[in-house]
């Protein structure tokens, strides 16, 4: 299978009926990055910067962060790489940073909430990213945005750090793109406010589905409730896809579902063309893309979305499409 997938890596990622699908890696360790050359992925859609913090025993210093980001960018080369700002808390435990126990850590003091509340941490990370870029373009993703306000606050922090760098006579990235993760359901009802502020958007379905369904993403006993492509969830995801079209803002899916064939097919069927996944999933998903006539799948999923057949129905429908290929 490995050899078979390797043979696909240099083929353009386009469906049989001509829709281009951009396939990207989810990553967080520099050691994973050379795999870009093996998979032929277009870049890194999600680099989870908290991993460096999770495997350390104390706060990584500015220079340690700079070194990691610079090395990641060096390996990615011309391929785009999206650095996600620290997403600490919830399932991502950094013991030396969590002072108080919380009853619901997934819904607690985490991620950009923590970042804006402890600006030293956020500032240092943004400074490290800017220094590591050394004048090259930089893409930064803000996790767990609940209100557009948090996103615009983060942009202010970025601007301040850029100014600081400029005053010091250091090179400033030629272009900085700041994106928001859509993974808190409330943001679905604020897309018209958020999207004009963002350069790109990334859907974190792992959390989005957890919060939409009130079903813990890591609890197997509620995995049935968690189904990410049941119609209500697919409709929610489609709201983001459609808003991205309206505002001409690229939308990437970076939740784990993008790397699973049935789920990826559902996403492509609702118009998603940028999928970020674990490197091991690129081969199978690329194969799916290359064999796919998307239009008829799009038609039947759209019909299911409007007719309101239940979630199990759509999973069966899509599995059948895949079998037919």
Question: Token pair for residue 41?
Answer: 């992925």
Among Mg ion, ligand PEP, none, residue 48 binds (CB under 5-8 Å by kind): ligand PEP
Residues that bind ligand PEP (CB under 6 A): 46, 48, 87, 183, 204-207, 254-255
Quick count: other Cβ atoms within 10 Å of Cβ 221? 8
Cβ proximity to ligand PEP, 184 vs 304, nearer residue: 184
What is the nearest approach in angstroms of Mg ion to the Cβ of residue 218? 12
Query: Would you count residue 263 as binding Mg ion (CB under 5 A)?
Result: no
Distance CA 325, CA 318 (A): 11
Look at the block and give the residue holding tokens 């979630």. Answer: 311
Nearer to ligand PEP, 254 or 272 (CB): 254
Q: Which residues of 257-278 are buried (b: 16+ CB within 10 A; e: fewer)?
A: bbbbbbbbbbbbbbbbbbbbbe
Only segment of 13-21, 99-107, 187-195, 200-208 that touches Mg ion (CB under 5 A): 200-208
55 secondary structure, DSSP code = S
Question: Which partner from the list ligand PEP, Mg ion, none does 228 bind, CB cut-off 5 to 8 Å by kind?
Answer: none
Residue 66 contact partner, candidates Mg ion, ligand PEP, none, CB within 5 to 8 A by sort of partner = none
Q: How far is the CB of 151 from ligand PEP (least distance, A)?
A: 16
Do the Cβ atoms of 267 and 276 come closer than 8 Å? Answer: no
Tell how many helices (H) and how many strands (E) occur in the chain: 15, 8
Q: From Mg ion, ligand PEP, none, which one binds at residue 254 (CB under 5 to 8 Å depending on kind)?
A: ligand PEP
Of 207, 227, 256, 263, which lies in the binding site for Mg ion, with binding defined by CB under 5 A? 207
Among 45, 89, 115, 204, binds Mg ion (CB under 5 A): 204
Burial class from Cβ neighbours inside 10 Å (0-12, 13-18, 19+) for residue 106 reads middle
Residues that bind Mg ion (CB under 5 A): 183, 204, 207
């Amino acid at each position: 299978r490995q050899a078979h997938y390797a043979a696909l890596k240099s083929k353009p990622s386009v469906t049989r009926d001509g829709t281009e699908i951009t396939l990207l890696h989810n990553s967080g360790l520099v050691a994973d990055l050379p795999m870009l050359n093996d998979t032929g992925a277009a870049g890194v859609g999600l680099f989870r910067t908290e991993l460096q913090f999770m495997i350390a025993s104390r706060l990584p210093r500015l220079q340690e962060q700079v070194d990691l980001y610079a090395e990641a960018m060096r390996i990615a080369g011309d391929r785009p790489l999206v650095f996600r700002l620290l997403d600490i808390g919830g399932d991502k435990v950094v013991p030396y940073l969590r002072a108080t126990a919380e009853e619901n850590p997934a819904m607690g003091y985490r991620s950009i909430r923590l970042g804006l509340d402890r600006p030293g941490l956020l500032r240092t990370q943004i400074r490290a990213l800017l220094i590591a870029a050394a004048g090259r373009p930089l893409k930064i993703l803000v996790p767990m945005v609940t209100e557009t306000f948090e996103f615009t606050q983060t942009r202010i922090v970025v601007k301040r750090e850029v100014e600081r760098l400029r005053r010091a006579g250091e090179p400033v990235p030629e272009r900085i793109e700041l994106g928001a993760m859509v993974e808190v359901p409330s943001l679905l009802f604020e897309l018209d406010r958020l999207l004009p502020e963002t350069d790109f958007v990334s859907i974190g379905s792992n959390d989005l589905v957890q919060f939409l369904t009130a079903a813990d993403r890591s609890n197997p006993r509620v995995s049935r409730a968690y189904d990410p492509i049941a119609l209500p969830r697919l409709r929610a995801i489609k709201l983001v896809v459609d808003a991205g079209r309206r505002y001409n803002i690229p939308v990437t899916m970076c939740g784990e579902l993008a790397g699973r064939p049935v789920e990826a097919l559902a996403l492509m069927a609702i118009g998603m063309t940028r999928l970020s996944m674990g490197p091991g999933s690129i081969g199978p998903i690329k194969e799916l893309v290359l064999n796919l006539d998307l239009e008829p799948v799009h038609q039947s999923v759209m019909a299911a979305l409007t007719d309101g057949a239940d979630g199990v129905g759509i999973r069966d429908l899509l599995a059948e499409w895949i079998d037919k290929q």
